[in-house]
Amino acid sequence: MHTLGQLARTWALAVAALLVGLGAAPAQDKGPIRIGFLPPITGPLASPGAEMVNGFRMFWEQNNMSAGGRKIEIVTGDTTCNPDQALTQARRLVLQEKVHFMVGPLCGHEGPAVSQVSKETGVPLVMDAAGADNVTKWERVPTVVRTAVSSSQIGHPFGEYLYKELGLRNVTFIGQDYTFGHEVTLGAIETFKALGGKVARLIWNPIGTKDYGTTIATIPADTDGVAVTIVGADRIRLFEDWFNFGMDKKHKIYGTYWLQEDMLPQVDDRAVGLIANSLHYASGIDTPENKAFVDAYAAKHKRIPSWFAESAYTAGLWVKTAIDSINGNVEDRDAFLKAMRTVQIKAPRGPLKLDAYDNPIQNVYVAKVEKTKHPALGDVLITRPVKTYEAVSQFWTWKPEEFLAKGPYKR
Amino acid sequence: MLAPPGASFALFLRSFMSGVILQAINGISLAALLFLLASGFTLTFGLMRVVNMAYGAYYLLGGYIGYSVARRTGSFELAILCGGLTIVVLGFFVDRFLIRPIGHNHLAQVLLTVGVAFVIGEVCLAIWGGDNLRVAIPPWLRGGMELPGGLFYPKYRLALIVLGTSTAILLWLLYHKTHIGAVVRAGVDDREMVNATGINVDRLFALVSALASFLAGLAGVVGGAFLTLNPGAEWDILVLALVVVIVGGLGSLEGAILGSIIVGLLDAYGRWLLPEFSYFVLFGPMAVLLLFRATGIFGKEQ
Amino acid sequence: MTARVLLLVAALAIAAALPSLVGEFWVTLLTQIMIFGLLALSADLLLGHAGLFSLCHAAFFAVAAYTTAILQVRHGVSTALAAPAGILAGTILSFVFAFAVRTRGVYFILITLAFGYIIWGVAYRWASFTGGDNGVTNVPFPAIGGLRVAGPTQYYYVVLVAVVLIALAYRVLITSPFGLTLRGIKSSESRMRSLGYDVGSHLYVAFVLSGLIASIAGVLYVYYNRFINPVAASFPVSLEAVLMAIVGGTGTILGPFLGSGIILVLRNWVSGFFHYYTAVLGIVFIVTVLFAPQGIMGLVARWRAGNRGEGA
């Protein structure tokens, strides 16, 4: 039975030890670099959010949590894929946690919200994942740079792919009815029509469409191919309904954005051979950088990474390269942004650098689903590039001024 | 290639008609799923005057459990059983220790059960993560089958219609043709009288509640096979079930049947003909109906 | 009575001094708490005083916010016109939705749920007008005549003043004969009817007034966030407004603000170190219902009654 006195003494000793311990920590010159990280940890996009977190952490762990001679501290704010939450969390990270710069967010419609915080406070934002075209075209903020992709950037090459590689002339387009879906689909349609292709039908589906039987039933009989841009749970639903309604016997289907690695474990071998995506990343990219990345990720997280993971990993790589080049002096925001805009990196997905409008120029890969044997995971489905469009800019083959004059892709 | 106008119109009419039939089947299959969830909700309200907003979460949890069981054992039937029974147990605890203490205060019930739903949702997120998971359909129900008229339709959804219909018939028979059903009906009409006749009303409630919970868990497994399970799914389905119950009338089994059919068909036809206005197509008629008949089609005046 | 006034004055003084005491993040969070507290107050006019549980207040909030945002951003209309226009738009909507008062109890809940969803659906789908899921961005800080709000701290004061004024007006309303009639209706509608009161009209007016307050909250919100998006019209926002009132204490003026504080601090601060803070929120609700059904204010009242030796 402890007396009060004994308890008090134990506590005092413990506190003293703690204080001594803290005092004994080596003094740092400038302290750690604090990165404000904004993934959706809970909410409807918790799964891509988890990949984003995993990818980012994996990079820093591989690099000893340091850059430019300083330690890296990651402070996370859960955006729940909600712009208001994203805004408040961004403000918390900037004002309360005093981060040096922010990385994220993931969801497209959170992009403008977090950009706004960057604009108000001058704290740089490295936009990883969120793809809204606006951010690097019409509504640019000087303190925001994007390291992932601009939505229509992946749509443009696919229109050409449909016409030239697949020889299609009368395509039905199915797109998810929100900004990302619009920009990808309309981007593909733009280049497809420019080559002379005809749109058999354009069908928009709200996010969370429960069954694709309806949509499938409206596909014109005389179409020679169906191109789909689908996100979230709808990807699996369309996949199931396509086969269950016997559509696979009638038409061919191609994913502009459809089958990514995060949901491949949920579909079966009927997916093998399907064109999965036209995207800036595919797990089957055959380079040493990507192999190393995929293997490390698979070993740690027991799954094949999707572009969300790679995007965050590469954001880490990009940021570290920039920080190293300015000797860790992230307090000089202009220098940091300039470094981000000038460094060129070799990411798992290929060579990257920013264009004059702060969006990466990068390869776009049209990829097919393939079944392969992974040393750590056994039989898995991955996406393997079948055609690579190199150094694609967000403006495709247009001049920036021309493209901007056309205005955003709107439904 | 020109075709005479009559031919293209006939073609259009043919495809339109097959569209109408296809949507009708889609709507009825959704109605079947909604009925499984809504019937429990409406009966617990009718008998026990309990508004339980955690039904969506019951659906989700039951579904996730069914998913895991199906993955481990490969048995869809076992998945349904486990999913349903888990919710029976959970529902029992929630009823006994959380809902019962607060009596008939609808406001408090809503707040409490929303809280329960939040907790269940987060637990599911912690255990199963954020991926869209699909319960594996048993092999004999995979793929489609040819219906008369040349329509190719997924077997699973047809099976769902069969399940929903048989459940509806079973419940109806139980409710209207058995002794227990008569007691329950009496309880819905007048609890005090039933109590006064010496029948153990509490035990009755527990039974009805257990059945409702089982149906919710079952609905989760069955729905999880074609709608997929993910964070937020519990609210999507709950909203639809609520509409069913409002339109059909709280406390009425016939209302749940009719309401499910109406909502299922509205959803299917709405998405087909007016996809931009899908929510309006669903909620508009409901709002209008309520303004004219505040208790729904079969509801009773309070 | 004087003790109460002194307490209020002291509270106001603290509120006015806060920006210089706490960091900018807390200033913005407090502003947010006040705005959502106002929304909760508007829902509580119906819940705590008329006994009607409304789930559509986010609709008025959002319609007001969108109107003001679109006028300022796309048509360059000044704050002096855009703000009142927003308030008017939201209030007009509440005139239409007020038909819901023809129903009671759980049916009222469900019909307002439906209304709320309809507006959310419009905000989301009518993308050419509302901007769809991207919403409307870059709303400027308010500026009337030569006066311009320069930053979050100044805006905090704007919101503080607005909230205090509305709270005072609210107090006058609920202690007036109209307010007392509402409470009468809440406790026994049949009695009020037999006494000759026009229950329908009273509830209708109450609904419109609560829509007015929600609209004001919406306009305050759009200048706080400087960005509006369909999420503002969604069901969780309406639900939370009511839950804030319940947790803080329905039927009081301070209650909705306390509830707003608890929920927003939980979400924005706890989320920083605990991922599953929604579960914490759920537990707060459960605990509130089981142990403090009158909310925080109810606990305070019981404690004071206990101290004074009065019966609870």
Encode pLDDT of B211-249 as tens digits.
999 999 999 999 999 888 988 889 889 888 988 888 888
- Burial environment of residue A411 by CB neighbours within 10 A (0 to 12, 13 to 18, 19 or more): middle
pLDDT at position C1 is 64
Q: Please report which confidence band the pLDDT of residue A24 belongs to, taking 50, 70 and 90 as the band edges.
A: very low
Q: Flag whether B94 is in a domain.
A: yes
Within a domain: residue B166?
Answer: yes
CB contact under 8 A, C118 and B51: no
Question: In terms of C-beta density within 10 A (0-12 exposed, 13-18 middle, 19 or more buried), how is residue A277 classed?
Answer: buried
Chain centroid to CA A336: how far? 22
Q: What is the dihedral of CA A17, A22, A24, A30, to 10 degrees?
A: 180
Of the candidates B197, B258, B294, the one whose C-alpha atom is nearest the C-alpha of residue C111 is B294
C99–B122 C-beta distance less than 8 A: no
Q: Does A411 touch chain C (CB under 8 A)?
A: yes
H or E element in which residue B151 lies: strand B151-154
Q: Which residue has the tokens 């106002």?
A: C38
**Which value does ipTM take for this structure?**
0.83
pLDDT of residue B215: 95
Indicate the DSSP class of residue B229: B
**Are A178 and C135 within 8 A, CB to CB?**
no
* Coil, helix or strand at residue C266: helix
pLDDT at A314 over 70: yes
Tens digit of each residue's pLDDT, chain B (302 residues):
454 556 678 777 877 787 788 889 989 999 999 999 999 888 888 777 888 999 999 999 999 999 999 999 989 999 999 999 999 999 999 998 998 888 877 778 888 999 999 999 999 999 998 888 989 888 888 888 888 777 788 899 999 999 999 999 999 998 888 888 888 878 777 777 777 887 777 788 888 899 999 999 999 999 999 888 988 889 889 888 988 888 888 788 899 999 999 999 988 888 777 766 666 777 777 777 777 776 667 766 54
Residue B184: count of CB within 10 angstroms of its CB: 22
A106-125 residue pLDDT tens = 988 888 889 989 998 999 99
How distant is the Cα of C134 from the closest Cα of chain A, in angstroms? 5
The set of residues, in sequence order, having a beta carbon less than 8 Å from that of A228 and lying 6+ positions away, is: A173, A174, A175, A238, A253, A254, A255, A256, A257, A258
In a domain, B89, yes or no: yes
Per DSSP, helices labelled H in chain C are: 2-21, 24-50, 57-75, 79-97, 105-125, 127-130, 152-175, 177-187, 189-194, 199-225, 235-248, 254-269, 277-291, 295-308
Do C277 and B126 meet the contact criterion of CB atoms below 8 Å apart? no
Q: How far is CA B135 from CA B236, C179, C291, in A?
A: 18, 54, 39
Q: What is the pLDDT of residue B149?
A: 72
Chain B residue with the nearest C-alpha to that of C290? B102
CA separation, residue B217 to residues A210, B67, B157, C21 (Å): 19, 11, 18, 52
- pLDDT band with cut points at 50, 70 and 90 for residue A257: very high
Report DSSP state, residue A359: -
Dist CA A390 CA C138 (whole Å): 35
**Residue A390 neighbours by CB under 8 Å, 6+ apart:** A363
Half-sphere exposure of C42 (CA within 13 A, CB side): 34
Residues of B in Cβ contact (< 8 Å) with C99: 291
List the single range of A205-209, A340-344, B132-136, B144-148 with lowest mean pLDDT: A205-209
Count CB neighbours of A222 within 10 A: 8
Cβ contact A277:A367 at 8 Å = yes
Task: Give the single-character DSSP code of A254.
Answer: E
Which candidate from C23, C128, C225 shows the least CB-CB separation from A95? C23
Q: How near does any CA of chain A get to the CA of C267, in Å?
A: 9
Q: Is B228 in the A-facing interface, judged by CB distances under 8 Å? A: yes
The distance of A40 to chain B (nearest Cα, Å) reads 10
Number of domains making up chain B: 1
Q: Give domain status of residue B98, yes or no.
A: yes
- C-alpha A6: how far from its chain's center? 56
Contact yes or no for B232 and A210 at CB 8 A: no
Whether the pLDDT of residue A174 is over 80: the answer is: yes
Spans of chain C below 70 pLDDT: 1, 308-312
d(CA A285, CA A245): 33
Predicted local distance difference test score (pLDDT) of residue C41: 97
Task: Sort out which chain B residues have CB atoms less than 8 A from A46's CB and list them.
Answer: 125, 129-130, 231
Interface check for B271 against chain A (CB to CB < 8 A): the answer is yes
Indicate whether B43 belongs to any domain: yes
Q: Does the distance separating the beta carbons of C107 and B277 come in below 8 Å?
A: no
Q: Which of A147, A148, A35 is nearest to A101 (CA)?
A: A35
| Close Cβ partners of C92 (under 8 Å, ≥ 6 residues apart) | none
- Asked if residue A365 has pLDDT above 60, the reply is yes
Residue C288, burial from CB neighbour count under 10 angstroms (0-12, 13-18, 19+): buried
Extract the tokens encoding C66. Answer: 């969108």
Q: Nearest CA of chain B to the CA of A392: how many Å?
A: 31
Comparing A209 with A331, which gets the higher pLDDT? A331
A262: chain B residues, CB-CB within 8 Å: 131
Chain A residues whose CB is inside 8 A of the C279 CB are none
List, in order, residues 6 or more apart from C157 with CB less than 8 Å away.
C16, C19
The token duo for A135 is 């951010």
Q: Which of B55, B84, B57, B59 is nearest to B69 (CA)?
A: B84
Contact A109 C127 (CB under 8 A): no
Look-up: residue for tokens 């006939």?
B10
Q: How close C167 gets to chain A, by Cα (Å)?
A: 26
Half-sphere exposure (CA, 13 Å, Cβ side) for A241?
A: 19
In a domain, B220, yes or no: yes
The domain of B209 spans 32-143+154-232
Peptide bond before residue A105 is cis, with ω within 30 degrees of 0: yes
Assigned domain for B172 exists = yes
Chain B residue nearest residue C119, CA to CA? B280
Residue C50 in tokens: 């008329």
The partner residue sitting opposite A244, judged by closest CB among B30, B154, B227, is B154
Which residues in chain C touch residue A74, judged by CB atoms under 8 angstroms apart?
none
Residue B240 contacts residue B51 (beta carbons within 8 Å)? no
Question: Distance (Å) from the C-alpha of residue C205 to the closest C-alpha of chain A?
Answer: 32
What pLDDT score does B101 carry? 86
d(CA A31, CA A293): 30
Which residues on chain C are in Cβ contact (under 8 Å) with A84?
225, 229, 231-232
Q: Do C286 and B279 touch (CB under 8 A)?
A: no
Mean pLDDT of A16-24: 42
Please report the pLDDT score of residue B294 as a whole number: 66
Give the pTM: 0.84
* Record: contact C111-B284, CB cut-off 8 A: no
B273/chain A closest Cα distance in angstroms: 10
Query: Would an 8 Å CB–CB cutoff place C127 in contact with chain B?
Result: no
User: Which of C114, C122, C283 is opposite residue B115, by nearest beta carbon?
Assistant: C283
3-state secondary structure of B123: helix
Question: What number of C-beta contacts closer than 8 Å exist between B and C?
Answer: 116
Numbers of helices and strands, H then E, in chain B: 11, 2
